[in-house]
Chains A and B, each alone.
Chain A
Amino acid sequence: MTFSTQRPVTAGAPDIGASTTPAPPGRLPVIAGEWIDRTRRLAFTFEGKAFSGFDGDTPSSALWAAGVRILGRSFKYHRPRGLLSMANHDINALMQAGPRLNLRADVEPLEAALNLTAVNTHGGVDVDRARLLGWFGGLLPVGFYYKAFHKPKALFPFWERLFRRITGLGRVEFDAPHVRTPKRYDFADLLVVGAGPAGLMAALTAARAGAKVVLVDENARIGGSLGYQRGGNDDTLARLRALESQLAELPNVSVRTSTLAAGWYADHWVPLVDAKRMTKLRTRAVLVAGGAYEQPAVFRNNDLPGVMLASAAQRLIYRYGVKPMDNAVVLTANADGYVAALDLLAQGIGVPAIVDLRPEGDASDLPTRARQLGIQVLEGHCVFEAEGGNRLAAVVVCPTDADGRPQTSAPQRIACDGLLMSVGWAPAAPLLYQAGTRMGFDTTVQQFVPRELPAGMFAAGRVNGVFALEAKLLDGERAGAEAARFLGFAATSRITDRPTETTSPSHPWPIVEHASGKNFIDFDEDLQLRDFYNAAQEGFDNIELMKRYTTVGMGASQGKHSNMNAIRILARIRGRTPGDIGTTTARPFFHPVPMSHLAGRGFSPHRETPLHSRHEALRAVWMQAGIWLRPEYYAAPDKTRIELVREEAAAVRKAVGLIDVGTLGKMELFGPDAGEFLERVYTARFANLKVGMTRYAVMLDEAGVVIDDGVVARLAPEHFYFTTTTTGAATVYRELQRLNAMWGLRIGIVNATGAFAAMNLAGPGSRAVLAGLTALDLADAAFPYLAVRIGEVAGVTCRLMRVGFVGELGYEIHVPADQAARVWDAIMAADAGVRPFGVEAQRLLRLEKGHIIVGQDTDGLTQPDQAGLTWAVKTDKPFFVGKRSVEIVRKGAVRQRLVGFDLTVAPGGPVPKECHLVIRDGNIAGRVTSIAWSDALQRHIGLAFVEPDLAVDATPFFIRADGGLMVQAKVAPTPFYDPAGARQKLA
């Protein structure tokens, strides 16, 4: 067994022996198996007052031990609240510690120097001024916020502010420190959720069969009810110790305490949440042994501090050595309540009465034993109401009639400072529901139990409707063996079917009506019994509708203590069974998970070209291009961005520039069918491309829309090398692979995008610069425009292409990544006049040439004819992707065309920007896709989509610029610069 927990505790650690110091008031003498370390005191504050507790305490246990009874205020009426479940099944004790919000004080470990405050109070938890709201409860009927405050509309913001102030849970601190919460993955054969008797037996059985088991429990220690439902002796603790030592012998079990299985996702993915992180567990099977939530009885003032679930008192005693009260009445409807009474007596706590809702009482010998111990046992009685101001002072008990209704003619008032409720349980089944388990209502246990479990899901123990201890152990063994067999291991168990209970541990109607209300169903949301009748009367009598209207189960404890009673009430209202009513949908997460856990570590991959360090040294200003970082321009002292971009562009036009184009997609294509493949995927002809030459290539999708472009070079008859756009590389490569998976041509495609660096040496001086670095014959006849050559540059074998994207004599040099820096350095050193230029200058230079950028000057609907690419589309080929669509579209009218335009801006007038609209007669007639000031041309130039009748040279049109001002432009032929292309073809 490996053991992990967020707290430095060891399973089965020896209990601390006789303490030399006497137990502080509120603490019991040392309890065998207690979780606290009485040698380690922790000082903390609550609501500004100093307290101390022990290591192993929770804030709630330490405060209760110190006599604090008001731990929080309720959400709506700001009623005083103490402990209910002591198990995080309610949020009575929801606290804040500085930046830590939503601290569940019942279960979170106490730490030294915590400064705690109760949330949602005005003036402190003891004197909360908003408690006055309780007196006006009648003005706040169920669903009131759907009805009230909407009229007059003008006042709504006032009400909204008021309600936000008085209802929020906690206060966000904006200077909260950054906490690292890295996620991790884990893998197992079987996840067992819940380390109570059933879960422990299941884990043992499956692990012995050979399965790799992860056993999680949300509590700080394992054991579940074995640790706290003892009945006044330590027999169950001994059972727990025995199971622990058996578990410790198995290396293939990993036990994780203080860890929550927060949800179930398809294929058995379960997020395990602990204090520090979320672990995404991939397991092959899940066994839910999460037990059951004890359910409150419903009677007037059932929320008074001192009224608590029986299991809460037992947890206080056995986990924390805290005396829950001095005198307690036990309200019960099962054997568990009698066991709890014995636990109280064993600690010297007075039990004046056990009130059993059942007329027939308990079938076991427990009532007799209780009576022998001097306890008054009142069968067929109920607690009609609880009395007290800020804490319980007495309960009023009365007999019930055959229908369970209170007979208030002869009430009996019993003074007490505690009331234990032990009237039933609800299964902790969210993971089972999320996995698609069909659940059904079993009347013998008055509980929803699994009827049909999906493959790989298993359930055992109370969640499976099994409550007796021996039966739970057997059921755990059964389910563990079933899970092991599902996983392919050999395993047997003593029983093969779920054990059946003879008496129900849950009462079908633990609810007592009261004319004055304040009999709470949902403690989070302050919902009373009458709210449900009102909701049903208003027509919200379906469980999902009722939930949303009343908000039952929508509070921070997500219905753990309220859904079952809500279902019972609705069933009674409608004259149906709970099984007919059904449950609401259980969605992940089972319990709120901090956002920081969900965020985890932020991974944001980016790519750097092999020349990245060179750009850094040259003071590049970076921009993002897809996943890449690229130099937008290179900074220089005392110069603006726009000045530098123009200088870089001018250097290319007048001398020589060098740009890193390594982000282009780069593909290698081999094989006898390589030419045929390119014919099919690009619009132009490639079968006839001569070795040593390149050709512009446009790619369409099946709808005939331009999706990518690039340059195809033929290096050998069966070897092509081609580029794609920077952002298109990954998707183009993927799609080409898919197409050939269909076509089965004899080709091999290699995505060499990262393996090759590329740079474009451009400008009238480029040939002279290159000549000094290579033995290649650069004369026009030997290396003409659009040719590709392989040769050494600065001693490195490169692929060189004469391309014209920026409209000057230029060489695109492709070089293996590990030698790119060497080539770049050699070029930069060859001539002091070589000026590095960035993406922004390149965009201007290509615009002067009227070259489009796919994705900027085209969009998701642009057909090649609209973008002026008709020349590159060879519809006389038998097939290319998108051909049929292009042909069909050509039969109709073109809706828009991409045209060049220029404009003269009035001094001080607005300059249109990309995406500004072309307007005609008040209607949209197109949009600008590119625009820039051209130094070379001394005017603004751009590209725009316009309606076809505007796409005629010299046609004026209007662009609506910032501020709604209209700017006149006129259609101009492209290329704007060097229309004959003489410069790039420079001989």
Chain B
Amino acid sequence: MTATMRTSPLAVAVAGRKPELREVHGMPVPARFPGERDTWKATIGICDVSALVRAGLKGPGAEAWLAARNVPVPAAANSWTHAGGGLVARLARTEFLIEDGCDDVAAARLRAELQAGEPGVYPVIRQDCALALAGAAVNELLVQTCNADFASQSAADSIVTLTQMVGVSVTVLRDDRGTVPCYRVWCDGTMGPYFWETLIGIAEELGGGPVGIASLFADTAT
């Protein structure tokens, strides 16, 4: 990762709440919001995890390219797997999203290698607004914002869902934090501020709100 300071698509959207910021992979993100308590676990907590480093690629050769680099490749379309502290998601059939955990560097390495160019392997620049929607009541947020049936999925299904929430195209997968249900959601960064404000507004009506990355990811780099 370059030393360049990165900016989250939600930097301005969260600033008004005066969170305590922490730099993750060169990007300051909220580590904790003022007055934040563990109540979100029983309701809904929304966390900006845009700082996690991602690599994207697609093309007929993408699967073999990843396998050659010992990246675990989910076999089925729209499925995903953990990889180190991060994850590898197969989007539709021949596109992949690799996201590092807070301390990993795999995606960063793959991204650099992708620049070399290889037949049938095309790099996809990832500049997502990435969120974690967590908490026991998160399904109520989902059914008010999305027409896909997440309640019938379990974390063990390892399903990736490409759908729309509040009018925004999103990639969604379920990755619980311990016993707390948690969905990971990625959308276009330029949609991020609208997406965040809309979800936070509904979450707050339902008794939830924003949470910092330190609450969800104990392994957050400091």
Contact = CB atoms under 8 A, between A and B. Distances in A.
Direct contact of A and B (CB under 8 A): yes
Interface of A: 180, 182-187, 280, 282, 601, 603-610, 612-613, 616, 628, 662, 668, 670-672, 716, 718-719, 746, 748, 750, 752-756, 795-796, 816-822
A601 B117 contact: no
Contacts of A186: 143
B168 A605 contact: yes
B58 interface: yes
A316 B186 CA distance: 55
A187 B152 contact: yes
Given A182-B144, A818-B8, A754 B188 contact: yes
A796 B201 CA distance: 35
Contacts of A668: 122-123, 125
A818 B6 contact: yes
Interface string B156-183: 0000000000111000000000000000
A754 B5 CA distance: 19
A921 B73 CA distance: 72
A750 B58 contact: yes
A819 B6 contact: yes
B124 A607 contact: no
B198 A817 contact: no
B11 to A, nearest CB: 7
B51 to A, nearest CB: 9
A182 B202 contact: yes
Interface of B: 2-9, 11-12, 27, 50, 58-59, 117, 119-120, 122-127, 140, 143-144, 146-147, 149, 151-152, 166-168, 188-195, 198, 202, 205
Contacts, number: 118
A514 B130 CA distance: 75
B126 to A, nearest CB: 7
A820 B117 contact: no
Given A187-B151, A612-B12, A755-B127, A716 B143 contact: no
Contact of B190 (A719, A750, A754): A754
B198 A816 contact: no
Contacts of A187: 149, 151-152
A607 B50 CA distance: 17
A822 B7 contact: yes
A534 B122 CA distance: 76
A718 B7 contact: no
A271 to B, nearest CB: 13
A791 to B, nearest CB: 14
B143 A185 contact: yes
B191 A607 contact: yes
A185 B145 CA distance: 8
A748 B122 contact: yes
26 contacts: A184-B144, A185-B143, A185-B147, A185-B149, A187-B151, A603-B166, A604-B167, A605-B191, A609-B190, A610-B7, A610-B9, A610-B189, A662-B190, A670-B122, A671-B122, A718-B117, A748-B58, A750-B122, A752-B125, A755-B189, A817-B190, A819-B5, A819-B6, A820-B7, A822-B4, A822-B7
Contacts of A605: 166-168, 191, 194-195
Given A608-B194, A719-B117, A817 B9 contact: yes
| Shortest Cβ-Cβ A-B pairs, 7 listed | A748-B122, A754-B188, A755-B127, A818-B6, A817-B127, A670-B122, A187-B149
B191 A754 contact: yes
Given A183-B144, A605-B166, A754-B191, A821 B122 contact: no
Contacts of B4: 795-796, 819, 822
Contact of A817 (B3, B12, B166, B189): B189
Contact of B144 (A601, A670, A671, A718): A601
A601 B6 CA distance: 34
Contacts of A719: 117
Contacts of B190: 607-610, 628, 662, 753-754, 817
Nearest to A606: B194
A928 to B, nearest CB: 33
Contacts of B127: 754-756, 816-818
Contacts of B188: 607, 753-755
Nearest to A182: B144
B133 to A, nearest CB: 16
Contacts of B198: 603
Nearest to A674: B122
Residue with the highest number of chain A CB atoms closer than 10 Å, among B117, B119, B125: B125
Contacts of B192: 608
Contacts of A616: 12
Given A670-B117, A820-B7, 18 more contacts: A184-B140, A185-B149, A187-B149, A187-B151, A282-B147, A605-B168, A605-B191, A608-B193, A609-B190, A612-B12, A612-B193, A670-B123, A748-B58, A755-B126, A755-B127, A796-B4, A818-B7, A818-B9
Contacts of A795: 2-4
A50 to B, nearest CB: 36
A756 B125 contact: yes
Contact of A185 (B58, B59, B123, B146): B146
Contacts of A817: 9, 127, 189-190
Given A601-B144, A606-B194, A754-B127, A822 B59 contact: no
Contacts of B2: 795
Contact of A822 (B5, B151, B194): B5
A870 B117 CA distance: 36
A716 B3 CA distance: 27
A180 B127 CA distance: 34
Nearest to A671: B122
Contacts of B152: 187
A605 B149 CA distance: 22
A599 to B, nearest CB: 14
